[in-house]
Chain A
Amino acid sequence: MDKRYTYYPGCSLHATGIAYDKSMRAVFDKLGSELAELEDWNCCGATAYMSVQKTVAFAVSARNLALAERTGDDVVAPCSACYYALKHTREGMGEDPELRAQVDEALAAGGLATDLTVAVRHPLEVLLTDIGIPQLIEAQTHSLEEFRPACYYGCQIVRPFGAVDEDPELPMSMENLFTALGARPVDYPPKVRCCGGMLVATMPEVATDLSMDLVDWAIANEANCIVTVCPLCQSNLDLINVTKGSNGKSHQIPVLYFTQLIGLAIGCTPEEVGMQHALIPPDAKAPRLRSAQDRGAPLTIAGTREG
Protein backbone atom coordinates (compact mmCIF):
# COMPACT_ATOMS: atom_id res chain seq x y z
CA MET A 1 0.00 0.00 0.00
CA ASP A 2 0.91 3.61 -0.31
CA LYS A 3 3.01 2.74 -3.28
CA ARG A 4 3.39 5.14 -6.16
CA TYR A 5 2.98 4.20 -9.78
CA THR A 6 3.51 6.01 -13.04
CA TYR A 7 0.22 5.82 -14.87
CA TYR A 8 0.34 5.45 -18.65
CA PRO A 9 -3.30 5.75 -19.73
CA GLY A 10 -2.74 5.57 -23.48
CA CYS A 11 -4.88 7.23 -26.12
CA SER A 12 -7.98 5.05 -25.75
CA LEU A 13 -8.42 5.77 -22.06
CA HIS A 14 -8.90 9.42 -22.89
CA ALA A 15 -11.75 8.65 -25.29
CA THR A 16 -13.63 5.38 -25.87
CA GLY A 17 -12.09 3.83 -22.77
CA ILE A 18 -12.86 6.72 -20.43
CA ALA A 19 -14.62 4.41 -17.97
CA TYR A 20 -11.40 2.41 -17.62
CA ASP A 21 -9.53 5.62 -16.79
CA LYS A 22 -12.10 6.66 -14.19
CA SER A 23 -12.26 3.25 -12.55
CA MET A 24 -8.46 2.88 -12.49
CA ARG A 25 -8.11 6.18 -10.67
CA ALA A 26 -11.01 5.45 -8.31
CA VAL A 27 -9.73 2.00 -7.37
CA PHE A 28 -6.11 3.01 -6.80
CA ASP A 29 -7.25 6.04 -4.85
CA LYS A 30 -9.52 3.96 -2.63
CA LEU A 31 -6.72 1.50 -1.97
CA GLY A 32 -4.32 4.27 -1.02
CA SER A 33 -1.92 3.82 -3.93
CA GLU A 34 -0.89 6.83 -5.91
CA LEU A 35 -1.29 6.82 -9.69
CA ALA A 36 0.69 9.72 -11.13
CA GLU A 37 -0.04 10.20 -14.81
CA LEU A 38 3.14 10.22 -16.88
CA GLU A 39 3.65 13.81 -17.88
CA ASP A 40 3.38 14.51 -21.60
CA TRP A 41 3.28 10.83 -22.56
CA ASN A 42 2.95 10.03 -26.25
CA CYS A 43 1.29 7.22 -28.19
CA CYS A 44 2.87 3.80 -27.57
CA GLY A 45 2.81 3.03 -31.31
CA ALA A 46 0.41 0.13 -30.78
CA THR A 47 0.40 -2.53 -33.46
CA ALA A 48 0.19 -0.05 -36.33
CA TYR A 49 3.59 1.60 -36.05
CA MET A 50 5.40 -1.72 -36.06
CA SER A 51 3.78 -2.44 -39.44
CA VAL A 52 5.35 0.64 -40.98
CA GLN A 53 8.77 1.31 -39.47
CA LYS A 54 10.56 -0.80 -36.92
CA THR A 55 13.17 1.47 -35.32
CA VAL A 56 10.73 4.38 -35.23
CA ALA A 57 8.13 2.18 -33.53
CA PHE A 58 10.64 1.34 -30.81
CA ALA A 59 11.84 4.95 -30.48
CA VAL A 60 8.32 6.39 -30.17
CA SER A 61 7.52 3.92 -27.44
CA ALA A 62 10.92 4.40 -25.74
CA ARG A 63 10.28 8.11 -25.23
CA ASN A 64 7.69 7.12 -22.64
CA LEU A 65 10.15 4.84 -20.85
CA ALA A 66 12.69 7.66 -20.80
CA LEU A 67 10.13 10.09 -19.33
CA ALA A 68 9.07 7.52 -16.74
CA GLU A 69 12.62 7.15 -15.49
CA ARG A 70 12.46 10.64 -14.02
CA THR A 71 10.49 9.27 -11.10
CA GLY A 72 11.57 5.67 -11.45
CA ASP A 73 8.19 4.29 -10.38
CA ASP A 74 6.78 1.23 -12.14
CA VAL A 75 4.76 2.08 -15.25
CA VAL A 76 1.18 0.83 -15.13
CA ALA A 77 -0.39 0.47 -18.58
CA PRO A 78 -4.04 -0.65 -18.54
CA CYS A 79 -4.51 -0.99 -22.31
CA SER A 80 -3.32 -4.36 -23.58
CA ALA A 81 -1.73 -2.84 -26.69
CA CYS A 82 0.11 -0.19 -24.65
CA TYR A 83 1.22 -2.81 -22.16
CA TYR A 84 2.53 -4.97 -24.98
CA ALA A 85 4.20 -2.13 -26.93
CA LEU A 86 5.98 -0.66 -23.90
CA LYS A 87 7.05 -4.04 -22.61
CA HIS A 88 8.16 -5.17 -26.07
CA THR A 89 10.26 -2.02 -26.38
CA ARG A 90 11.90 -2.60 -23.03
CA GLU A 91 12.61 -6.28 -23.73
CA GLY A 92 13.56 -5.75 -27.38
CA MET A 93 16.07 -3.02 -26.57
CA GLY A 94 17.48 -5.15 -23.78
CA GLU A 95 18.02 -8.10 -26.10
CA ASP A 96 19.37 -6.35 -29.18
CA PRO A 97 22.40 -4.10 -28.66
CA GLU A 98 22.24 -2.74 -32.22
CA LEU A 99 18.62 -1.74 -31.87
CA ARG A 100 19.34 -0.25 -28.48
CA ALA A 101 22.16 1.88 -29.88
CA GLN A 102 19.89 3.16 -32.65
CA VAL A 103 17.00 3.95 -30.31
CA ASP A 104 19.40 5.63 -27.87
CA GLU A 105 20.69 7.80 -30.68
CA ALA A 106 17.15 8.72 -31.70
CA LEU A 107 16.21 9.59 -28.11
CA ALA A 108 19.37 11.66 -27.79
CA ALA A 109 18.18 13.73 -30.77
CA GLY A 110 15.30 14.74 -28.50
CA GLY A 111 17.57 15.23 -25.48
CA LEU A 112 16.40 12.05 -23.76
CA ALA A 113 18.01 8.82 -22.62
CA THR A 114 16.81 5.56 -21.13
CA ASP A 115 18.61 2.89 -19.15
CA LEU A 116 15.52 0.64 -19.21
CA THR A 117 15.18 0.58 -15.45
CA VAL A 118 11.44 1.08 -15.04
CA ALA A 119 9.23 -1.99 -15.07
CA VAL A 120 6.16 -2.09 -17.33
CA ARG A 121 3.16 -3.66 -15.62
CA HIS A 122 -0.51 -4.30 -16.15
CA PRO A 123 -2.95 -3.17 -13.43
CA LEU A 124 -4.41 -6.69 -13.09
CA GLU A 125 -1.01 -7.94 -12.04
CA VAL A 126 -0.38 -4.90 -9.82
CA LEU A 127 -3.68 -5.38 -8.00
CA LEU A 128 -3.04 -9.09 -7.55
CA THR A 129 0.62 -8.92 -6.51
CA ASP A 130 1.30 -5.57 -4.87
CA ILE A 131 -2.08 -5.22 -3.22
CA GLY A 132 -3.25 -8.81 -3.19
CA ILE A 133 -6.55 -10.59 -2.75
CA PRO A 134 -6.49 -10.54 1.11
CA GLN A 135 -6.00 -6.78 1.09
CA LEU A 136 -8.83 -6.36 -1.44
CA ILE A 137 -11.15 -8.48 0.69
CA GLU A 138 -10.25 -6.32 3.66
CA ALA A 139 -11.12 -3.20 1.66
CA GLN A 140 -14.38 -4.72 0.41
CA THR A 141 -17.59 -2.98 1.40
CA HIS A 142 -20.07 -4.49 -1.03
CA SER A 143 -20.58 -8.03 -2.16
CA LEU A 144 -20.44 -8.92 -5.82
CA GLU A 145 -22.67 -11.93 -5.30
CA GLU A 146 -25.14 -10.83 -7.98
CA PHE A 147 -22.43 -10.78 -10.62
CA ARG A 148 -21.85 -13.77 -12.86
CA PRO A 149 -19.01 -12.43 -14.99
CA ALA A 150 -17.50 -14.07 -18.03
CA CYS A 151 -13.84 -13.16 -17.47
CA TYR A 152 -12.33 -12.23 -20.81
CA TYR A 153 -8.56 -11.77 -21.08
CA GLY A 154 -8.13 -11.32 -24.83
CA CYS A 155 -4.74 -11.36 -26.41
CA GLN A 156 -1.87 -9.10 -25.56
CA ILE A 157 -1.86 -9.33 -21.78
CA VAL A 158 -1.52 -13.11 -21.99
CA ARG A 159 0.55 -13.36 -25.19
CA PRO A 160 3.43 -13.21 -25.85
CA PHE A 161 4.39 -11.80 -22.43
CA GLY A 162 2.11 -13.07 -19.69
CA ALA A 163 1.24 -10.09 -17.47
CA VAL A 164 0.27 -12.49 -14.73
CA ASP A 165 2.24 -15.66 -14.18
CA GLU A 166 -0.22 -18.34 -15.22
CA ASP A 167 -1.18 -20.71 -18.01
CA PRO A 168 -1.48 -18.56 -21.16
CA GLU A 169 -4.08 -20.93 -22.59
CA LEU A 170 -6.24 -20.92 -19.47
CA PRO A 171 -5.66 -17.92 -17.20
CA MET A 172 -7.67 -17.97 -13.98
CA SER A 173 -6.50 -14.85 -12.16
CA MET A 174 -9.68 -12.82 -12.71
CA GLU A 175 -11.89 -15.79 -11.84
CA ASN A 176 -9.96 -16.26 -8.60
CA LEU A 177 -10.09 -12.56 -7.82
CA PHE A 178 -13.81 -12.17 -8.41
CA THR A 179 -14.68 -15.41 -6.67
CA ALA A 180 -12.82 -14.07 -3.64
CA LEU A 181 -14.92 -10.90 -3.85
CA GLY A 182 -18.10 -12.95 -3.84
CA ALA A 183 -18.96 -13.01 -7.54
CA ARG A 184 -19.71 -16.23 -9.37
CA PRO A 185 -17.65 -16.24 -12.57
CA VAL A 186 -19.02 -18.54 -15.26
CA ASP A 187 -17.06 -21.05 -17.26
CA TYR A 188 -15.85 -19.13 -20.29
CA PRO A 189 -13.76 -21.22 -22.70
CA PRO A 190 -13.03 -18.47 -25.28
CA LYS A 191 -11.39 -16.24 -22.66
CA VAL A 192 -8.12 -15.81 -24.55
CA ARG A 193 -9.57 -15.58 -28.05
CA CYS A 194 -9.15 -12.51 -30.22
CA CYS A 195 -11.90 -9.83 -30.21
CA GLY A 196 -10.86 -8.68 -33.69
CA GLY A 197 -8.82 -5.73 -32.49
CA MET A 198 -8.30 -3.04 -35.11
CA LEU A 199 -10.02 -5.21 -37.72
CA VAL A 200 -13.23 -3.65 -36.42
CA ALA A 201 -12.32 -0.68 -38.62
CA THR A 202 -10.47 -2.36 -41.46
CA MET A 203 -12.44 -5.60 -41.82
CA PRO A 204 -15.64 -5.04 -39.82
CA GLU A 205 -17.35 -8.15 -41.15
CA VAL A 206 -14.55 -10.36 -39.83
CA ALA A 207 -14.18 -8.53 -36.51
CA THR A 208 -17.91 -8.44 -35.78
CA ASP A 209 -18.10 -12.23 -36.15
CA LEU A 210 -15.28 -12.69 -33.66
CA SER A 211 -16.77 -10.30 -31.11
CA MET A 212 -20.28 -11.62 -31.54
CA ASP A 213 -19.08 -15.14 -30.92
CA LEU A 214 -17.51 -14.00 -27.64
CA VAL A 215 -20.73 -12.27 -26.59
CA ASP A 216 -22.93 -15.23 -27.56
CA TRP A 217 -20.70 -17.64 -25.68
CA ALA A 218 -20.97 -15.54 -22.52
CA ILE A 219 -24.77 -15.38 -22.85
CA ALA A 220 -25.02 -19.12 -23.52
CA ASN A 221 -23.03 -19.82 -20.35
CA GLU A 222 -25.43 -17.63 -18.38
CA ALA A 223 -23.06 -14.83 -17.58
CA ASN A 224 -24.73 -11.52 -16.71
CA CYS A 225 -21.73 -9.42 -17.69
CA ILE A 226 -18.41 -9.73 -19.49
CA VAL A 227 -15.34 -8.41 -17.71
CA THR A 228 -12.45 -7.14 -19.84
CA VAL A 229 -8.94 -5.81 -19.30
CA CYS A 230 -8.50 -3.78 -22.49
CA PRO A 231 -10.26 -0.70 -23.94
CA LEU A 232 -10.34 -2.14 -27.46
CA CYS A 233 -11.84 -5.46 -26.28
CA GLN A 234 -14.38 -3.52 -24.24
CA SER A 235 -15.49 -1.28 -27.09
CA ASN A 236 -15.53 -4.11 -29.64
CA LEU A 237 -17.71 -6.28 -27.40
CA ASP A 238 -19.81 -3.35 -26.17
CA LEU A 239 -20.53 -2.29 -29.74
CA ILE A 240 -22.08 -5.71 -30.37
CA ASN A 241 -24.83 -4.40 -28.08
CA VAL A 242 -25.84 -1.93 -30.79
CA THR A 243 -25.20 -4.27 -33.73
CA LYS A 244 -28.05 -6.28 -35.12
CA GLY A 245 -27.20 -9.93 -35.51
CA SER A 246 -27.80 -11.56 -38.88
CA ASN A 247 -30.41 -13.87 -37.33
CA GLY A 248 -32.18 -10.99 -35.61
CA LYS A 249 -31.30 -12.46 -32.24
CA SER A 250 -30.42 -10.10 -29.44
CA HIS A 251 -26.79 -10.15 -28.43
CA GLN A 252 -26.92 -7.87 -25.43
CA ILE A 253 -24.85 -8.10 -22.30
CA PRO A 254 -23.10 -5.45 -20.18
CA VAL A 255 -19.37 -5.29 -20.87
CA LEU A 256 -17.36 -3.94 -17.94
CA TYR A 257 -13.75 -3.34 -17.04
CA PHE A 258 -12.35 -5.47 -14.23
CA THR A 259 -11.48 -2.26 -12.39
CA GLN A 260 -15.14 -1.18 -12.47
CA LEU A 261 -16.18 -4.38 -10.74
CA ILE A 262 -13.41 -4.10 -8.16
CA GLY A 263 -14.39 -0.45 -7.62
CA LEU A 264 -17.99 -1.41 -6.88
CA ALA A 265 -16.78 -4.03 -4.41
CA ILE A 266 -14.61 -1.60 -2.47
CA GLY A 267 -17.25 1.10 -2.19
CA CYS A 268 -16.80 3.36 -5.20
CA THR A 269 -20.06 4.66 -6.64
CA PRO A 270 -21.17 3.55 -10.12
CA GLU A 271 -20.45 7.10 -11.35
CA GLU A 272 -16.97 7.05 -9.89
CA VAL A 273 -16.13 3.92 -11.84
CA GLY A 274 -17.67 5.30 -15.04
CA MET A 275 -20.70 3.00 -15.27
CA GLN A 276 -22.53 5.74 -17.18
CA HIS A 277 -20.25 5.19 -20.17
CA ALA A 278 -21.24 1.55 -20.68
CA LEU A 279 -23.56 1.17 -23.68
CA ILE A 280 -25.60 -1.30 -21.65
CA PRO A 281 -25.39 -0.42 -17.97
CA PRO A 282 -25.38 -3.51 -15.77
CA ASP A 283 -28.73 -2.88 -14.11
CA ALA A 284 -30.59 -2.66 -17.41
CA LYS A 285 -30.01 -6.33 -18.12
CA ALA A 286 -29.34 -7.60 -14.62
CA PRO A 287 -31.57 -5.80 -12.10
CA ARG A 288 -30.25 -7.81 -9.21
CA LEU A 289 -26.93 -6.06 -9.49
CA ARG A 290 -28.35 -3.05 -7.73
CA SER A 291 -28.01 -4.63 -4.37
CA ALA A 292 -24.27 -4.57 -4.83
CA GLN A 293 -24.42 -0.89 -5.58
CA ASP A 294 -26.57 0.09 -2.59
CA ARG A 295 -24.30 1.89 -0.24
CA GLY A 296 -24.41 0.38 3.16
CA ALA A 297 -25.48 -3.02 1.94
CA PRO A 298 -24.53 -5.67 4.46
CA LEU A 299 -21.13 -7.18 4.00
CA THR A 300 -21.51 -10.67 2.70
CA ILE A 301 -17.90 -11.52 2.30
CA ALA A 302 -17.94 -14.47 4.65
CA GLY A 303 -19.31 -17.56 3.02
CA THR A 304 -18.95 -16.29 -0.52
CA ARG A 305 -15.20 -16.18 -0.50
CA GLU A 306 -14.69 -19.74 -1.63
CA GLY A 307 -16.60 -21.16 -4.54
Chain B
Amino acid sequence: MKTLDPLAGPIAPGVLSKKEHELRTAFLEEIERIPGGGRLNQCIQCGTCTASCPVSHAMDITPRQVIGMFRAGAIEELLESRTIWLCASCYHCTLRCPAQIQITDLFYALKRIAIEEGIFPKRFPVHVMSETFTNNVKRYGRNYEVGLLLTYFLKTKPIGLFRQRNAGIALLRHGRIKLRPDKIKGIEQLRKIIAKAETFDLPQEKVTKEKVTAAVGYESIGR
Protein backbone atom coordinates (compact mmCIF):
# COMPACT_ATOMS: atom_id res chain seq x y z
CA MET B 1 0.00 0.00 0.00
CA LYS B 2 1.31 3.34 -1.07
CA THR B 3 1.37 6.02 1.57
CA LEU B 4 -0.06 9.26 0.39
CA ASP B 5 2.07 12.29 0.95
CA PRO B 6 -0.24 15.17 1.70
CA LEU B 7 2.43 17.57 0.52
CA ALA B 8 2.81 15.94 -2.89
CA GLY B 9 -0.16 17.83 -4.30
CA PRO B 10 -0.45 21.61 -4.23
CA ILE B 11 2.85 23.34 -3.54
CA ALA B 12 1.02 25.75 -1.28
CA PRO B 13 -2.66 26.23 -0.51
CA GLY B 14 -4.31 27.36 -3.69
CA VAL B 15 -1.17 27.03 -5.80
CA LEU B 16 -0.52 24.13 -8.17
CA SER B 17 2.70 23.00 -9.74
CA LYS B 18 3.02 23.66 -13.46
CA LYS B 19 2.65 19.95 -14.30
CA GLU B 20 -0.36 19.63 -12.07
CA HIS B 21 -1.95 22.62 -13.69
CA GLU B 22 -1.38 21.11 -17.14
CA LEU B 23 -2.93 17.82 -16.12
CA ARG B 24 -5.86 19.56 -14.52
CA THR B 25 -6.55 21.60 -17.63
CA ALA B 26 -6.36 18.53 -19.85
CA PHE B 27 -8.66 16.63 -17.52
CA LEU B 28 -11.22 19.41 -17.32
CA GLU B 29 -11.24 19.60 -21.11
CA GLU B 30 -11.82 15.87 -21.34
CA ILE B 31 -14.60 15.69 -18.80
CA GLU B 32 -16.35 18.77 -20.07
CA ARG B 33 -17.65 16.71 -22.96
CA ILE B 34 -18.76 13.73 -20.93
CA PRO B 35 -22.48 14.05 -20.27
CA GLY B 36 -22.66 14.98 -16.61
CA GLY B 37 -18.88 15.34 -16.41
CA GLY B 38 -19.19 18.67 -14.63
CA ARG B 39 -20.99 16.95 -11.80
CA LEU B 40 -17.63 16.11 -10.29
CA ASN B 41 -18.13 18.98 -7.86
CA GLN B 42 -21.24 17.26 -6.54
CA CYS B 43 -19.19 14.45 -4.97
CA ILE B 44 -20.06 14.09 -1.29
CA GLN B 45 -17.21 11.61 -0.66
CA CYS B 46 -19.70 8.99 0.55
CA GLY B 47 -17.65 6.08 -0.75
CA THR B 48 -20.51 4.29 -2.52
CA CYS B 49 -18.23 3.96 -5.57
CA THR B 50 -15.50 2.28 -3.55
CA ALA B 51 -17.98 -0.01 -1.82
CA SER B 52 -19.55 -1.00 -5.15
CA CYS B 53 -16.26 -1.54 -6.94
CA PRO B 54 -15.45 -5.24 -7.41
CA VAL B 55 -11.72 -4.51 -7.56
CA SER B 56 -11.30 -1.71 -5.01
CA HIS B 57 -9.61 -4.21 -2.68
CA ALA B 58 -6.74 -4.46 -5.16
CA MET B 59 -6.40 -0.71 -5.70
CA ASP B 60 -3.81 1.46 -3.99
CA ILE B 61 -6.08 4.50 -4.25
CA THR B 62 -9.85 3.90 -4.05
CA PRO B 63 -12.32 5.46 -6.51
CA ARG B 64 -13.55 7.85 -3.81
CA GLN B 65 -9.98 8.93 -3.13
CA VAL B 66 -9.44 9.53 -6.84
CA ILE B 67 -12.03 12.31 -6.79
CA GLY B 68 -10.67 13.62 -3.51
CA MET B 69 -7.13 13.70 -4.87
CA PHE B 70 -8.23 15.42 -8.02
CA ARG B 71 -9.80 18.14 -5.91
CA ALA B 72 -6.72 18.37 -3.76
CA GLY B 73 -4.59 18.87 -6.86
CA ALA B 74 -2.77 15.56 -6.96
CA ILE B 75 -3.64 14.21 -10.42
CA GLU B 76 -0.07 13.27 -11.21
CA GLU B 77 0.08 11.10 -8.14
CA LEU B 78 -3.18 9.38 -8.96
CA LEU B 79 -2.00 8.69 -12.51
CA GLU B 80 0.98 6.94 -10.96
CA SER B 81 -1.35 4.66 -9.06
CA ARG B 82 -2.75 1.39 -10.41
CA THR B 83 -6.31 2.43 -9.82
CA ILE B 84 -7.51 3.61 -13.21
CA TRP B 85 -5.92 0.60 -14.92
CA LEU B 86 -7.66 -1.81 -12.59
CA CYS B 87 -11.10 -0.56 -13.52
CA ALA B 88 -12.86 -3.34 -15.45
CA SER B 89 -15.59 -0.94 -16.69
CA CYS B 90 -18.43 -2.70 -14.91
CA TYR B 91 -20.24 0.61 -14.33
CA HIS B 92 -21.45 -0.33 -10.86
CA CYS B 93 -20.11 2.92 -9.36
CA THR B 94 -21.77 4.96 -12.12
CA LEU B 95 -25.10 3.23 -11.54
CA ARG B 96 -25.05 3.77 -7.79
CA CYS B 97 -23.42 7.19 -7.38
CA PRO B 98 -25.93 9.33 -5.46
CA ALA B 99 -24.48 12.45 -7.14
CA GLN B 100 -24.83 10.81 -10.57
CA ILE B 101 -21.18 11.25 -11.40
CA GLN B 102 -20.08 9.25 -14.45
CA ILE B 103 -17.16 7.69 -12.60
CA THR B 104 -16.32 5.02 -15.19
CA ASP B 105 -16.20 7.63 -17.94
CA LEU B 106 -14.02 9.89 -15.74
CA PHE B 107 -11.63 6.97 -15.42
CA TYR B 108 -11.53 6.65 -19.20
CA ALA B 109 -10.69 10.34 -19.41
CA LEU B 110 -7.87 9.81 -16.90
CA LYS B 111 -6.55 6.83 -18.86
CA ARG B 112 -6.41 8.90 -22.03
CA ILE B 113 -4.50 11.65 -20.22
CA ALA B 114 -2.11 9.10 -18.72
CA ILE B 115 -1.38 7.67 -22.19
CA GLU B 116 -1.02 11.11 -23.73
CA GLU B 117 1.30 12.30 -20.97
CA GLY B 118 3.10 9.01 -20.55
CA ILE B 119 2.50 8.84 -16.80
CA PHE B 120 2.03 5.25 -15.61
CA PRO B 121 2.36 3.26 -12.42
CA LYS B 122 5.70 1.50 -12.05
CA ARG B 123 5.92 -2.14 -13.15
CA PHE B 124 2.27 -2.19 -14.12
CA PRO B 125 2.04 -2.06 -17.88
CA VAL B 126 -1.72 -2.59 -18.24
CA HIS B 127 -2.00 0.32 -20.66
CA VAL B 128 -0.02 -1.80 -23.13
CA MET B 129 -3.15 -3.94 -23.49
CA SER B 130 -5.23 -1.00 -24.67
CA GLU B 131 -2.52 0.14 -27.04
CA THR B 132 -2.00 -3.36 -28.46
CA PHE B 133 -5.74 -3.62 -28.93
CA THR B 134 -5.95 -0.40 -30.92
CA ASN B 135 -2.98 -1.45 -33.06
CA ASN B 136 -4.77 -4.70 -33.85
CA VAL B 137 -7.83 -2.79 -34.99
CA LYS B 138 -5.75 -0.53 -37.22
CA ARG B 139 -4.04 -3.54 -38.72
CA TYR B 140 -6.94 -5.92 -39.29
CA GLY B 141 -10.11 -3.97 -38.60
CA ARG B 142 -11.00 -6.60 -36.05
CA ASN B 143 -9.55 -7.69 -32.81
CA TYR B 144 -7.59 -10.92 -32.95
CA GLU B 145 -7.67 -12.50 -29.51
CA VAL B 146 -4.62 -14.75 -29.89
CA GLY B 147 -2.50 -12.01 -31.41
CA LEU B 148 -3.65 -9.55 -28.76
CA LEU B 149 -2.73 -11.80 -25.87
CA LEU B 150 0.56 -13.00 -27.38
CA THR B 151 1.72 -9.46 -28.09
CA TYR B 152 0.60 -8.23 -24.69
CA PHE B 153 2.37 -10.98 -22.78
CA LEU B 154 5.54 -10.82 -24.84
CA LYS B 155 5.71 -7.07 -24.33
CA THR B 156 4.96 -7.14 -20.63
CA LYS B 157 5.37 -10.47 -18.83
CA PRO B 158 6.27 -13.51 -20.93
CA ILE B 159 5.88 -15.66 -17.82
CA GLY B 160 2.15 -14.91 -18.02
CA LEU B 161 1.94 -17.00 -21.19
CA PHE B 162 3.36 -19.97 -19.36
CA ARG B 163 0.96 -19.51 -16.45
CA GLN B 164 -2.03 -19.37 -18.78
CA ARG B 165 -1.07 -22.43 -20.81
CA ASN B 166 -3.85 -24.63 -19.38
CA ALA B 167 -6.45 -22.13 -20.44
CA GLY B 168 -4.95 -21.90 -23.91
CA ILE B 169 -4.81 -25.67 -24.36
CA ALA B 170 -8.38 -26.14 -23.11
CA LEU B 171 -9.73 -23.50 -25.48
CA LEU B 172 -7.73 -24.87 -28.39
CA ARG B 173 -9.01 -28.39 -27.80
CA HIS B 174 -12.58 -27.15 -27.86
CA GLY B 175 -12.20 -25.33 -31.14
CA ARG B 176 -12.31 -21.90 -29.58
CA ILE B 177 -9.01 -20.49 -30.77
CA LYS B 178 -8.71 -18.96 -34.15
CA LEU B 179 -5.28 -19.37 -35.65
CA ARG B 180 -5.46 -16.62 -38.19
CA PRO B 181 -6.75 -13.07 -37.90
CA ASP B 182 -9.70 -11.86 -39.95
CA LYS B 183 -8.93 -8.83 -42.02
CA ILE B 184 -11.86 -6.74 -43.15
CA LYS B 185 -12.23 -5.81 -46.80
CA GLY B 186 -12.70 -2.15 -46.01
CA ILE B 187 -9.46 -1.86 -44.00
CA GLU B 188 -8.27 1.10 -46.07
CA GLN B 189 -11.58 2.83 -45.52
CA LEU B 190 -11.36 2.17 -41.78
CA ARG B 191 -7.80 3.52 -41.67
CA LYS B 192 -8.92 6.70 -43.40
CA ILE B 193 -11.70 7.10 -40.85
CA ILE B 194 -9.26 6.53 -37.98
CA ALA B 195 -6.70 8.94 -39.44
CA LYS B 196 -9.31 11.67 -39.75
CA ALA B 197 -10.74 11.04 -36.28
CA GLU B 198 -7.23 11.15 -34.82
CA THR B 199 -6.87 14.76 -35.90
CA PHE B 200 -9.58 15.60 -33.36
CA ASP B 201 -7.84 13.67 -30.61
CA LEU B 202 -4.39 15.20 -30.97
CA PRO B 203 -3.29 17.00 -27.86
CA GLN B 204 -4.81 20.45 -27.95
CA GLU B 205 -2.99 23.61 -26.98
CA LYS B 206 -3.11 22.79 -23.32
CA VAL B 207 -2.30 25.61 -21.04
CA THR B 208 -1.43 29.20 -20.94
CA LYS B 209 2.10 28.72 -19.68
CA GLU B 210 2.46 31.87 -17.65
CA LYS B 211 -0.47 31.04 -15.45
CA VAL B 212 0.56 28.27 -13.16
CA THR B 213 -1.58 29.12 -10.21
CA ALA B 214 -5.13 27.95 -10.02
CA ALA B 215 -7.70 27.64 -7.36
CA VAL B 216 -7.82 24.24 -5.79
CA GLY B 217 -11.11 22.60 -5.04
CA TYR B 218 -14.63 23.51 -5.88
CA GLU B 219 -13.98 26.77 -7.74
CA SER B 220 -11.79 25.20 -10.39
CA ILE B 221 -14.20 22.40 -11.21
CA GLY B 222 -17.38 24.36 -10.99
CA ARG B 223 -17.98 24.50 -14.70
Is residue A109 within 8 Å, beta carbon to beta carbon, of the partner chain?
yes
Is residue B178 within 8 Å, beta carbon to beta carbon, of the partner chain?
yes
Q: In chain B between 156 and 183, which residues have their CB closer than 8 angstroms to a CB of chain A?
A: 160, 163-164, 166-167, 170-171, 174-178, 182
A56 B201 Cβ-Cβ under 8 A: yes
Is residue A279 within 8 Å, beta carbon to beta carbon, of the partner chain?
yes
Q: Which residue of B lies closest to A196 (CB)?
A: B88
Chain A 97-136: CB-based contact to B (< 8 A → 1; otherwise 0): 0110011011111111000000000000000000000000
Contacts of B127 in A (CB 8 A): 51
Total contacting residues, chain B, CB less than 8 A: 65
**What's the nearest-Cβ distance from chain A to residue B61, in Å?**
15
B35 A95 Cβ-Cβ under 8 A: yes
Contacting chain A: which of B1-9, B18-26, B140-148, B211-219?
A: B140-148
A159 B133 Cβ-Cβ under 8 A: no
A46 B133 Cβ-Cβ under 8 A: yes
**What's the nearest-Cβ distance from chain B to residue A171, in Å?**
12
Dominant SS among interface residues on chain A: helix
Q: How far is the CA of A102 from the CA of B146 in the complex (A)?
A: 33
Contacts of B195 in A (CB 8 A): 109
B192 A109 Cβ-Cβ under 8 A: yes
Q: Which of A50, A59, A202, A239 lies at the interface centre, i.e. has the most chain B CB atoms within 10 A of its CB?
A: A202
Is residue B207 within 8 Å, beta carbon to beta carbon, of the partner chain?
no
Is residue A138 within 8 Å, beta carbon to beta carbon, of the partner chain?
no
Chain B 93-124: CB-based contact to A (< 8 A → 1; otherwise 0): 01100000000100010011001000000000
Interface residues on A, range: 35 or more
B189 A53 Cβ-Cβ under 8 A: no
Is residue A30 within 8 Å, beta carbon to beta carbon, of the partner chain?
no
B86 A53 Cβ-Cβ under 8 A: no
A98 B33 Cβ-Cβ under 8 A: yes
Is residue A298 within 8 Å, beta carbon to beta carbon, of the partner chain?
no
Q: Which of B55, B127, B184 lies at the interface centre, i.e. has the most chain A CB atoms within 10 A of its CB?
A: B55
Contacts of B54 in A (CB 8 A): 193-194, 196, 210
Contacts of B194 in A (CB 8 A): 56, 59-60, 106
Contacts of A155 in B (CB 8 A): 88-92
Q: How far is the CA of A55 from the CA of B134 in the complex (A)?
A: 13
**What's the nearest-Cβ distance from chain B to residue A134, in Å?**
31
Q: What are 14 residue pairs bridging A and B, where the CB atoms are less than 8 Å apart in the complex?
A: A11-B142, A11-B143, A46-B143, A49-B133, A51-B127, A59-B193, A98-B33, A102-B200, A106-B193, A109-B193, A199-B88, A201-B153, A276-B174, A279-B170
9 nearest interchain CB pairs?
A: A48-B133, A159-B91, A59-B197, A109-B196, A194-B90, A106-B197, A155-B90, A110-B189, A197-B88
